[in-house]
C-alpha cells in the first residue's frame, strides 16, 4: 500500500466516520476525543510528512486556512542541495525519472521548483515527493505516470526510500501544505 495515494479528503472522511461511530455509541466525550486524537497521531505516523499541528486541525475541519503556505521556492532548493551533498558520488535510483520530469513540465509551479533537478540522474528522487504531494492532495493519480500500477508502486517505494527522512518526508510535507494552502 502506498499511503500517499490515499487523499487527505479520504482520510478526513474516515476520521469523520469514526467520530460518527463513536457518537452513535454514546461513549464519554473524553474517551471519544482521546481515541480520535490517537487516530490522528497514527495517521501522522503513516503519512510521516504532514505536521501534527497542521494535520489534526485540517482533518477535523477541512479548512486549508490552518495550513502554512511555505516558501517552497526557497526551502525545496535548500533541501535539494543538501540531498545532493549527502549523496554526492553515490548511486541514485532513476526509475520513473523520465515520466516524473514529463509530468512536472506540465505543472504550473514556481520556476525554482520546475528546475529543481538539473541532472537527469536526480530527477526521480527530486520530483517524486512533489508528484506524491499532488497525489495526496487529490490533484493527480499515479496513473498519470503512464506505466503499470505494479511497476509504479515498486518504483515509488524504492525511490521514496532513497533518502526518506532528509528529503522525501520534508519535501512531501512542504508541498502538501503549499498545495492545500494555495488551492482556489
Q: Report the range of poorest mean pLDDT among 75-84, 100-109, 151-160, 174-183.
A: 174-183
Alpha carbon 146 to chain centroid, angstroms: 20
* Alpha-carbon span 147 to 178, nearest angstrom: 27
- Interaxial angle between packed helices 169-181 and 72-86, expressed in degrees from 0 to 180 and rounded to the nearest 10: 170
Q: Comparing C-alpha atoms, which of 36, 28, 75, 55 is closest to residue 180?
A: 55
At residue 56, does pLDDT exceed 90? no
- Interaxial angle between packed helices 52-61 and 29-47, expressed in degrees from 0 to 180 and rounded to the nearest 10: 120
| Domain boundaries, given as residue ranges, for the chain | 3-66, 72-181
pLDDT tens digits for 1-39? 677 777 777 887 888 888 888 888 888 888 888 888 887
At residue 115, does pLDDT exceed 90? yes
The band of 50, judged by pLDDT with boundaries at 50, 70 and 90, is: low
The answer to whether 175 touches 54, Cβ cutoff 8 Å, is: no
* Alpha-carbon span 77 to 74, nearest angstrom: 6
pLDDT at residue 73, as a whole number: 93
Task: Please give the residue that has the higher pLDDT: either 48 or 58.
Answer: 58
Amino acid at each position: 500500500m502506498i499511503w500517499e495515494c490515499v487523499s487527505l479528503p479520504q482520510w478526513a472522511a474516515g476520521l469523520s466516520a469514526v467520530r460518527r461511530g463513536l457518537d452513535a455509541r454514546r461513549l464519554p466525550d473524553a474517551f471519544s476525543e482521546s481515541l480520535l486524537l490517537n487516530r490522528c497521531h497514527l495517521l501522522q505516523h503513516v503519512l510521516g510528512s504532514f505536521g501534527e499541528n497542521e494535520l489534526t486541525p485540517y482533518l477535523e475541519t477541512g479548512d486549508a486556512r490552518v495550513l502554512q503556505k511555505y516558501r517552497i521556492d526557497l526551502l525545496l532548493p535548500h533541501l535539494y542541495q543538501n540531498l545532493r551533498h549527502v549523496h554526492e558520488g553515490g548511486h541514485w535510483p532513476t526509475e520513473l525519472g523520465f515520466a516524473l520530469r514529463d509530468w512536472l513540465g506540465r505543472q504550473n509551479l514556481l520556476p525554482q521548483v520546475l528546475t529543481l533537478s538539473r541532472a537527469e540522474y536526480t530527477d526521480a528522487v527530486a520530483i517524486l515527493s512533489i508528484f506524491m504531494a499532488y497525489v495526496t492532495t487529490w490533484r493527480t493519480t499515479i496513473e498519470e505516470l503512464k506505466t503499470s500500477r505494479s511497476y509504479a508502486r515498486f518504483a515509488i517505494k524504492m525511490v521514496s526510500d532513497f533518502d526518506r527522512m532528509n528529503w522525501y518526508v520534508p519535501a512531501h510535507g512542504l508541498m502538501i501544505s503549499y498545495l492545500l494552502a494555495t488551492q482556489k
